[in-house]
Amino acid sequence: ASSVASAAIVEHSFHVKNLTLRRLCGEQVITAVNGSLPGPTIRVREGDTLVVHVFNKSPYNLTIHWHGIFQKLSGWADGPNMVTQCPILPGSSYTYKFKVIKQEGTLWWHAHVSTLRATVYGALIIRPRSGHSYPFPKPDKEVPILLGEWWNANIIDVENQALATGAGPNNSDAYTINGRPGDLYPCSQNQIYKLKVERGKTYMLRIINAALNNQLFFKIANHKMKVVAVDASYTKPYITDVVVTGPGMTTDVLLIADQPVGSYYMAASPYASAAGVPFDNTTTRGILIYEGSTSATPIMPLMPATNDTPTAHKFYSNLTGLAGGPHWIPVPRHVDEHMFITVGLGLEPCGGNATCQGPFGQRLSASMNNKSFQFPTSLSMLQAFFFNVGGIYTPNFPDKPPVKFDYTNSNISNDQSLLFAPKSTSVKVLKYNSTVQIVLQNTALIVVENHPIHLHGFNFHVLAQGFGNYDPVNDPKKFNLVNPQMRNTIGVPVGGWAVIRFKANNPGVWIMHCHLDAHLPWGLATAFVVQNGPTPRSTLPPPPADLPKC
């Protein structure tokens, strides 16, 4: 009863509208929440109910996704456009209401329509319920660190141009820490994030990668960090001098201000796993300033090279879960559904006599198991599921790719059927409470890179990850079934694979997609339709009355 008594209702209003901001050397009109970039930080305790009234005063269609929230029996609040809802039209509103249960740590919220999340994002912090504590000594202070990107152009124009030409989107003009580019960019001496610390105290940095299209290295000069959670799931403490993070991921670290009084740069620079893909090779930095510091020139950390896959892999693969800790879930041992899903880019025919600027004069595209996902336009998939409307999605997503090939070999591009994956609305239907294991295998068609694959509605266990083609005989021997990390986003190693496992205990429609923003409209996605359970408590309730209409 005490835990019921301690649960609260936390209410926010999001006014989403144009904001003129000065960044780098000019002004730009962006879409922002409550007039700030990043948007408001939401703080709840585990067990609370979060209610957010979203008023769309922007000129664009809008939805908000609560990235990493399970949305147990509240799928109507998940937010991906045309998956769980139709968009909130300009001038309209929608109230997202859901309980935050059985997860603690750092998550975030962001727009989930077109590419608006470039500026519509913020932190969502879940602390233990009152009377409960962290599985580590309480830090003296907690600080959200949101890594982002800044464009000197209108972000919707950037996306539209990419879609029109068939090429990749233009690179951003800067990376940012808490919305600020830092002093390595033009006109940005004063646009730098500063964190004041007191010597001897412990700070929890809640690091969120809200960048659109880049994985990032994050370092603080002369300081080590202790990772205690990823994706709002506790980890066995892991000490590192570099954090590697893909779009969508969060990393909670403890930082002890144990160095001589002074000032130290914190910096983020790209981990661009792919050879041949253009990326923004710049560095954003902020300053950690000790109380009493008089030093004028902060110390700069040495950043890893942009293609430093060994450093990225070491960090990603050394993380383990805090078995037995708060909200720990043991790995389900029996698997009901075995899936093998290829993940990668491809092409779409340019069409007509148009000229496209993608590879080979075609348009860039992407697929899972050779199906390039297309979002419906007339009704959301969750409404189709709930009201049993046909023709919105197709329940035939294959458990493996159509043919087996050497996924590390880019020279099969003469196989046109694999290169030009057909457009599809294909989804996988799962029985309630079934356990699913998925081998995610990157392909090398067009380009080979690390894809951060995000699953809505669940955390999964990461059983193993590696390079090359997945070996079904020997790689299962490497599975960590004891204390694997639990996450909602996995960076599938460049030219490699990762194995995840989760229990489909949440009825609804849950998209799984690459969190490199450009890859979503290209089709690097599918969805799981999890059937209702046998009782009302395992069945999705009806939509709220204000669910936007299409």
Report if residue 65 touches ligand C2O, rule: CB under 6 A: yes
| Paired sense of beta strands 26-33 and 9-23, if any | antiparallel
- Kindly state the smallest distance separating residue 78's Cβ from ligand C2O, in Å: 9
Give the DSSP letter string of 363-427: EEEEEETTBEE---SSS-HHHHHHHT-SSS-BS---SS-SS---TT-STTTT-HHHHSPPEE-B-
Distance from C-alpha of 489 to C-alpha of 67, rounded to nearest angstrom: 10
What's CA 379's distance to the chain center, in Å? 25
- Kindly state the smallest distance separating residue 108's Cβ from ligand C2O, in Å: 8
- Kindly state the smallest distance separating residue 488's Cβ from ligand C2O, in Å: 8
Interface positions, 232-291, toward ligand C2O (CB under 6 A): 248
Give the DSSP letter string of 274-313: -TT-------EEEEEEETT---SSPBPPPPPPTT-HHHHH
- Kindly state the smallest distance separating residue 421's Cβ from ligand C2O, in Å: 20
Interface positions, 497-516, toward ligand C2O (CB under 6 A): 511, 513, 515
- Kindly state the smallest distance separating residue 405's Cβ from ligand C2O, in Å: 28
Residue type, 179: G
- Kindly state the smallest distance separating residue 252's Cβ from ligand C2O, in Å: 17
- Kindly state the smallest distance separating residue 379's Cβ from ligand C2O, in Å: 19
- Kindly state the smallest distance separating residue 251's Cβ from ligand C2O, in Å: 15
| Contacts for 26 with CB less than 8 Å, ≥ 6 apart | 152
Nearer to ligand C2O, 220 or 511 (CB): 511
Among 23, 45, 67, 219, binds ligand C2O (CB under 6 A): 67
Nearer to ligand C2O, 66 or 497 (CB): 66
Nearer to ligand C2O, 66 or 290 (CB): 66
Under DSSP, is residue 518 helix (H, G, I), strand (E, B) or coil?
A: helix
In the sheet that holds 141-150, the strands lie side by side as 174-177, 141-150, 202-209, 250-256, 225-230, 233-240
Among 454, 461, 503, 519, binds ligand C2O (CB under 6 A): 454
- How many residues bind ligand C2O, per CB under 6 A? 11
Distance from C-alpha of 438 to C-alpha of 233, rounded to nearest angstrom: 20
Nearer to ligand C2O, 247 or 346 (CB): 247
Nearer to ligand C2O, 162 or 211 (CB): 211
- Kindly state the smallest distance separating residue 69's Cβ from ligand C2O, in Å: 10
Report if residue 38 touches ligand C2O, rule: CB under 6 A: no
Among 23, 45, 72, 112, binds ligand C2O (CB under 6 A): 112
**Cβ pair 429, 531 in contact under 8 A:** yes
| Contacts for 496 with CB less than 8 Å, ≥ 6 apart | 442, 465, 466, 467, 468
| Contacts for 27 with CB less than 8 Å, ≥ 6 apart | 20, 21
Nearer to ligand C2O, 112 or 129 (CB): 112
Site map (CB under 6 A) of ligand C2O, residues 72-111, x = contact = --------x-----------------------------x-
Among 363, 428, 456, 503, binds ligand C2O (CB under 6 A): 456
Distance from C-alpha of 544 to C-alpha of 94, rounded to nearest angstrom: 9
Residue nearest to ligand C2O (CB): 67
Report if residue 451 touches ligand C2O, rule: CB under 6 A: no
Nearer to ligand C2O, 359 or 548 (CB): 548
Distance from C-alpha of 393 to C-alpha of 375, rounded to nearest angstrom: 9
Read off φ and ψ for residue 316, nearest 5 degrees.
-60, -40
CA proximity to 104, closest of 288, 242, 249, 229: 229
Binding site for ligand C2O (CB under 6 A): 65, 67, 80, 110, 112, 248, 454, 456, 511, 513, 515
